Structure 1
């Protein structure tokens, strides 16, 4: 400690979760989970983090304001994904969800503040409730939001605590539709592309695998990759270079599927002649790529409206339940 001013060395500076994490040499998400009393953190670690937070004078202003029952007429929308060259914030996800959220909040006379999970954890905005788009790997992002004590809803899969309100697509049903489509085209050696540490992707794979049980088709490999065309392209190119043979691909997103098609065509393989490919999302690009992409459609706009309605119900002290929206297979050329 410097000059008796505490770990921050700034006298009146308000400590953050990041400051506590640096003080103890742990991850910021561990601090968030410990402060929300998550069982995923050992009790001894939780106790140490809570004691350190109290010693450093850590206080989360939004929680105090919530306890005073003041209203800002503002909902914070937090995006879990990190913007990158390969995955832009301007893509259909999250913009389509945001459109539905904004429409519903505006109709209800509510403001919306948009931020990322990293910025929210460091500098939480003044808000009455939170909509989280994306749970994060192993539910990390949702745990960070839960630590605030604010009413919140999540776009994703219902893998968290029983009381958490989640809006998302029926991802297992989507996986089953993809399996049925590929089996109907006599595809037997199947590849799954996607990062199953995300709850939605885990459910897509589970539904896919369940639908294949008892058939002569099987998942021969499962490749973890990001939600980008580059990741799909690299995964498939690597398998082809190794001599792995497959005749069907189910990708956890359209972007991954498009990358897979690029890799197949670059190796002289025909889609769907040699390999059939199914994506997930029905993003605008799915209908214009060559060949046009067969995909599982989820309705982001309606999902956004549902997220807004449910968080406003929670802020008003009403009950809200989770909702898994139906999906449909859009058969095109791939």
Structure 2
């Protein structure tokens, strides 16, 4: 019995060694490609999730990698290919230096961008920029830390963006489109959004109107232009334009001072939901009833707009679709496509109780 047990163990060990000899060693992506009978690039696409590949091939390559306990060294591959595997997401705050990344619009946009980039195999490198010199963007792209750049908002940095776009193609910007600019943008049709707000207030019988926004932002300028253009001339000339910054504290201070001065409009279009909610709060504190005495419309349709008091009527821009397009257009430019054009998203009026 003892001898038999020894013999059985010895037989099993021999079989294991034989199996190990039969299974080829996989030490590189080329080894795995040879076993799978596909190209190295196909293996790379299967293991990283980047690029197009049919599901059957992808699963077969991944199953072989698992069987051979092979893990792709992405860092080494990127180094070999001259890539970083990361996309820079930059937020230049040239005119609104008090804004924080925790603000609702930024949070929503960054969340969607993170999902889109992760799904395509990229890391996200985030930078909140307070421009001090005109070379801030050029310095970033020349640092080589990322394979491409997505800029959220043009702020007052259009000239800087234009200059860099002249020698760096792997960049897409979220913001208003201008045919004269050299860079590619994805953004809402802000003029059309302003017109939606104007027509809605006119339909509510509102005639004493005000616009709240901060003019250095090109998006805000376009929203006001669309708003004014959709009004009859006699009302257009009487619209009060109230400077209001994007931060909750500063926009509330502007709205409170406006009502404190005795101003009593019956319709307000605010350039952002944050500003609009500040108007709601200041109006309530000064005895102005919304919507009985005053209709208020914002812009963005952030989550907080739905739970404001009262819930905020707003012009919605599709942030999720915007993020998808930003990543898609950037990938196409990184791939060398020449016919990548700017995209304007159509806004939509979301009617709630504030108007």
Q: Same fold (TM over 0.5)?
A: yes
Q: Which residue of 1 aligns with 2:100?
A: 88
Q: Which residue of 1 aligns with 2:317?
A: 298
Contiguous gaps of at least 5 residues in structure 1: 1-68
TM-score, normalising length from structure 1?
A: 0.72
Q: Which residue of 2 aligns with 1:321?
A: 341
Go from structure 1 to structure 2 and tell me whether the alpha carbon gap of 1:94 and 1:249 turns closer, same or farther (over 3 Å shift): same
SS of equivalent residue, structure 2 residue 320: helix
- In the TM superposition, what whole-angstrom CA distance separates every residue of 1:188-226 from its partner, at most 9, and x where no partner exists? 111101112111111100110010034656552112221
Q: How far 1:274 moved relative to its partner?
A: 1.1
Q: Which residue of 1 aligns with 2:306?
A: 287
Go from structure 1 to structure 2 and tell me whether the alpha carbon gap of 1:315 and 1:267 turns closer, same or farther (over 3 Å shift): same
* Most deviating of 315-324 and 110-119: 110-119
Q: Which residue of 1 aligns with 2:125?
A: 113
Q: Which residue of 2 aligns with 1:259?
A: 278
1:206 pairs with 206, 209, 225, which one?
A: 225
Q: How far 1:184 moved relative to its partner?
A: 0.8
TM-score, normalising length from structure 2?
A: 0.68
1:132 aligns with 2:151: yes
Q: Which residue of 2 aligns with 1:221?
A: 240
- Aligned pairs for 1:137-156 within 5 A: 137=156, 139=158, 142-143=161-162, 145-146=164-165, 149-156=168-175
Supply the distance in 2 between the matched residues of 1:135 and 1:285 (Cα, whole angstroms): 24
Count how many residue pairs are aligned between Structure 1 and Structure 2. 266
Contiguous gaps of at least 5 residues in structure 2: 1-80
Highest RCO, 1 vs 2 (Cα 8 Å, sep ≥ 6) = 1
Go from structure 1 to structure 2 and tell me whether the alpha carbon gap of 1:149 and 1:85 turns closer, same or farther (over 3 Å shift): closer
1:99 pairs with 96, 100, 111, which one?
A: 111
Q: Which residue of 1 aligns with 2:205?
A: 186
Q: How far 1:74 moved relative to its partner?
A: 2.2
Question: Is the radius of gyration larger for structure 1 or structure 2?
Answer: 2
Q: Which residue of 2 aligns with 1:274?
A: 293
Supply the distance in 2 between the matched residues of 1:248 and 1:94 (Cα, whole angstroms): 27
- In the TM superposition, what whole-angstrom CA distance separates every residue of 1:231-284 from its partner, at most 9, and x where no partner exists? 332222222232333111100011101111111111111011111110011111
